[in-house]
Structure formats: C-alpha cells, structure tokens
A and B are shown apart, each in its own frame.
Chain A
Amino acid sequence: MFYDARQFAFVSTLESNWQVIRQEVEQLEDGDFLAWPEKYLYGKGWDIFGLYGMGIKVGHNCQLCPRTAALLESIPDLSTAGFSSLKPGTRIAPHTGYPDGLLRAHLGLLVPENCALRVGSEVKAWQEGQCLVFDDTSEHEAWNSGNSTRIVLLLDFKAPVGLLPQPADKPKGKGLFGFLKR
C-alpha cells in the first residue's frame, strides 16, 4: 500500500531540493550505474547508483553526488538510498521486498510519460519533485513505457512504530533467500 508521504518530515526537505538532486544525477554517466542483480524480474534496463546500503556509505558514489549525500545524511533512520534508473520499455515484474521494518520512498527526478508503479491494487505515476512512500513488502511492479529513462531517488527508512502490518500477516518467501523474507 501507499502511504501519505507528507506525514514523514524528510519528504519536504527532499522535495524542496529535488532540482539540486536532479542536477547531480544528470552529471552521472551510464557506466556509473550497476545493473540490479535480480535480473529475472526485468531482463535488462534497471540500473542502480548506490549511495547507502544497509546504513553503509558508498563513499566514492557519495563524493560524486555530495549535495544529495548531505541531504540523505540528515534523514533519521535511513537504511538504503540510491538512484534507480529504468530505461524505456523496461518492466519490473511483480515482486516483494525484504521486510525489516522499513518503508520505501521514491523521489521522482526524471519522469517521462507512461511510466508508473503498482503497489498492491493501487497504481500511481511518479511526479518530478514529489515523493511516493510505500510498503516494499507488498507486491509491487513498475514499468516505463515512455520514450526516455526514468530516474528516481530511492530510499528505505525505518517505519515509525505501529505503521507496518505485523510480519505474521506476510507470506513467507521460497528459495535460498526466502529466509530473508520472514
């Protein structure tokens, strides 16, 4: 499900600085991005520029985007952050994330027409300079049917107590990484 982004204090900070962030992402080259490893979900066309992973700072990348990194450092309980690039014609198949009491936010930076995100039964399109916040453990999918690359700033942050459904309500994952989804 989607959450009302305005209830999270950092959202207004990011949204008021979105053009600064966009300037930095526009300076990056294609080779700075890495293909997301879950290729069975999308084939090709989904690339990531990591800034933070599980609280670990990706130092070299943060040096390339210093103002974005500074904005991220001001977010309490930040876990993971980076730029997510979706090339035209790419569709990420329905999937669920790895629950750890986190919520996911997307700040639209470069958003062509005809691309959107479905979470559960709700479909929303990104808007440049605006955040979407959702529960990554709900089934979701994304697609870019536009004619240019979609880039968002993606971040995971610790959900306020009581906001997320209890883990027992969630389906258990299968496979080698299934235990991470419990």
Chain B
Amino acid sequence: MQPTHKTVDRASLDGLEEQYTLRREIKRAWEWVVFVWKLGGRLGGFRAVIRTIFLVVSLLVRRTLVQWGWLRQ
C-alpha cells in the first residue's frame, strides 16, 4: 500500500500559465542550448562530440520527415 499525499489544486494553476509568445519560446530554447552545451562537455572527448552531433542531426531529420508524413514512425 502506497502512502497518499495531497496534490495541488489543478484549477489554481490555470491562471499561472505564461502567455505563449515567440520571446518565451526563444527563452525556453536557449535554456536547452545551455543544457546541451554543458552536457556536451561531459561526453568524453572530441570524437564523442562529433559522433553525437551527427546522431542528433539524423534524429531531427528523421523526426521532421515523420512529422511531414514522408516517413512512418
């Protein structure tokens, strides 16, 4: 039997959501850039970084093709 805990009231969060703007999205994207940059420093060397860049680009291309319906998921 798991202990139970009180969670937040969902209705109280609805008004707190930040308005969707390009500026907000750029800010959020920048946080990811900083995170990936820092994590990249821990990949274990130049070769690992290059290999990872190729892999990530291929993943993004694949995802785009799936999104456009040119490739099945």
**Selected contact of B31 from candidates A38, A57, A143, CB within 8 Å:** A38
Interface class of chain B by DSSP? helix
Query: Could you mark each residue 34-52 of chain B with 1 if its beta carbon is under 8 Å from any beta carbon of chain A, else 0?
Result: 1100110111110010001
The distance in angstroms between the C-alpha atoms of A54 and B28, with both chains bound, is: 20
Query: Which residues of the other chain, B, contact A50 by a CB distance below 8 angstroms?
Result: 39, 42
Query: Which B1-59 residues have a C-beta within 8 angstroms of A?
Result: 2-5, 7-8, 10, 13, 18, 20, 24-26, 28-29, 31-32, 34-35, 38-39, 41-45, 48, 52, 55-56, 59
A143 to B3, CA, bound (A): 14
- With CB as the reference atom, state the residue of chain B lying closest to A132: B2
Among B32, B35, B63, B67, find the residue whose CB has the most chain A CB atoms closer than 10 A.
B35
Q: What is the interface size of chain B, counting residues whose CB is below 8 A from a CB of the partner?
A: 34
**B38's contact among A34, A118, A143, A177, by CB below 8 Å, is which?**
A34
Q: Which of A138-168 contact B (CB under 8 A)?
A: 141, 143
A-B contact pairs, 28 of them (CB 8 A): A34-B38, A37-B32, A37-B34, A39-B31, A54-B55, A56-B52, A57-B43, A57-B48, A58-B39, A58-B42, A58-B44, A59-B42, A62-B44, A93-B8, A101-B73, A114-B5, A116-B3, A118-B7, A123-B4, A123-B5, A124-B2, A125-B3, A141-B7, A174-B20, A175-B20, A175-B24, A175-B28, A176-B26
What 5 A-B pairs have minimum CB-CB distances, sorted nearest first? A59-B44, A37-B31, A176-B25, A37-B35, A60-B42
Among A35, A60, A176, A180, contact of B63 (Cβ-Cβ < 8 Å): A180
| Chain B min CB distance to A168 (Å) | 12
Whether A175 and B7, one on each chain, are in contact in the complex, defined by CB atoms closer than 8 angstroms, is no
Given contacts A60-B41, A118-B7, 12 further A-B contacts (CB under 8 A): A34-B39, A40-B18, A54-B55, A54-B59, A56-B55, A56-B56, A58-B39, A58-B42, A125-B2, A175-B25, A175-B28, A177-B25
